[in-house]
A = this chain, B = another copy of it.
Amino acid sequence: MQRFLARAVVVGDSAGTVVPDAVLDVAEGEIRWVGPAADAPPAPDAEIVELRGVLMPGLVNTHSHAPMVLFRGQAEGLPLDRWLSEVIWPREGRLIPEDVEVAMTAASAEMLCNGVTTSVEMYFSPERIAAAVTATGARALIATPLLPLPGLPSLEDQLRDAVELAAQTPTGGRVEYGIGPHAAYTLPLPLLAKAAAAAREHNLLLHLHVAETATEGDELLERHGLSVPALLASHDVLGGRVLAAHCVHLDEGDLELWQEYDVAVAHCPASNAKLASGVAPLRAMLDRGIRVGLGTDGPASNDALDLLADARLAAQLARLAAADATALSAAEALWLATGAAADAIGRPDLGRLTPGRQADLVHVDSRSLLMEPVGDATDVLTHLVWSGASRLVRDIWVAGRQVVRDGVCTTVDAEALRADVAARAARLARS
């Protein structure tokens, strides 16, 4: 058994529970006990890990296309349509699977160093993404994308392959597969229905984009007279482990459907801001009990892959939208990146530091002015969110195995990866 001693443990629940002067025991990759050091049970044989700082749960990124670090910041400032058609799609057309694996490895290490231990990925070459996170030691829930692109197999074949791939790997592990039909405006509705049925049959995550921009559903609305959520409901796509990314433009009726079908939302405020897509109705979703977790989206639309920074942005935008500084607290913002995010992806074994859950631990150095003052225990949580604490992440354990030590991801050679990503990005940029 390992016994971690920390200045405080931030649990990652909706109440914002913080345990000062805490002990956290880990065995076989799971948390066995958490509480005040004064109440800890005797553990004469435990290996003691004495930490200077604060332990928080490994952050859970509910929506990402992390291999797009290959395109980070490219042609910033172009309007979305030109950016996609002139910059992103031509480069993606030249991708080889090895590009995805190298880029995902680099991005996974970067996310780990920001405290993100789990990400939901939707990108080409899903087995390469799995290989990358297997190498870094992170977790990923990989939603194999279904997309009608030239050069790809038929959508029926893509779905069959995605289900086969998912069936080979048990759910609930460090790598898990789901199904990622891109969106209602890019795919035929019968295919979405088939994908949803397959996901329900195998208890897989069904991950798709919904209502990212104001106009993406216009054609469907005209043709069917229904909003995208209503259309998805009418075609039996909802129900099961459905995770809808963005959900910026939902009306009250759409939110009611989300409640009725227990659809979870991947809220991506930074990407929605950079692309000027809008601000999702976060407070309204939470008030209805809709499961919401934070997502970075890909680094081409949110360059930093820094989920704690996005938690701050979520609070900033929710407060501005409500014109109320109490509209979203620091505790809720952190919960959206931890416990709530784990619930949103259907993995309640993650995201909270309580007994029985996976030992995905982030050690944040609290010997920084950014983490002062600490008048009461909740100040620790406040500083994590508002002070940009991702830069203070020192050590990470995933399922009890240390993968970041003193700010460095020990499972990869970051400098070699950087150079490799740069060289591949240069090759992909050449027409």
Could you tell me which A residues sit within 8 Å of B by CB distance? Answer: 69-74, 76-80, 106-107, 110, 214, 270, 272-276, 278-279, 303-304, 306, 309, 313, 315-317, 319-320, 322-327, 329-331, 367-370, 372-375, 378-379, 382-383, 386-388, 391, 414-415, 417-418, 421-422, 425-426, 429
Contacts and interface: CB of A to CB of B under 8 A. Distances in A.
A122 to B, nearest CB: 20
9 contacts: A73-B382, A79-B325, A106-B369, A110-B370, A273-B320, A274-B325, A309-B388, A372-B422, A372-B425
- Interface majority SS (helix, strand, loop, mixed), chain A: helix
A276 B325 contact: yes
A388 B113 CA distance: 14
B319 A273 contact: yes
A321 to B, nearest CB: 9
Contacts of A382: 73, 76, 303
Given A372-B72, A391-B391, A386 B304 contact: yes
Contacts of A69: 369, 372
B383 A421 contact: no
Given A77-B325, A77-B329, A279-B320, 5 more contacts: A71-B373, A78-B325, A304-B370, A317-B320, A375-B429
A418 B365 CA distance: 13
A241 to B, nearest CB: 31
In the assembly, how many copies of this chain are there?
A: 2
A74 B357 CA distance: 31
Contacts of A74: 373, 375, 379
Contact of A72 (B306, B373, B417): B373
A417 B369 contact: yes
B372 A418 contact: yes
Nearest to A271: B316
Given A273-B319, A324-B276, A372 B421 contact: yes
A276 B313 contact: no
A180 to B, nearest CB: 24
A391 B329 CA distance: 25
Contact of A421 (B214, B369, B417): B369
Contacts of A316: 270, 273-274, 313
Nearest to A330: B76
A164 B324 CA distance: 41
A322 B276 contact: yes
Contacts of A369: 69, 106-107, 110, 414, 417-418, 421
A387 B369 CA distance: 22
Closest 10 CB pairs of A and B: A373-B425, A273-B316, A303-B386, A73-B382, A276-B319, A76-B382, A276-B325, A391-B391, A77-B329, A304-B388
Contacts of A375: 74, 425-426, 429
Greatest chain B CB density within 10 A among A76, A388, A418, A422 is at A76
A71 B214 CA distance: 41
B274 A386 contact: yes
Contacts of A274: 315-316, 319, 325, 386
A422 B313 contact: no
A304 B387 contact: yes
Nearest to A315: B274
Nearest to A16: B77
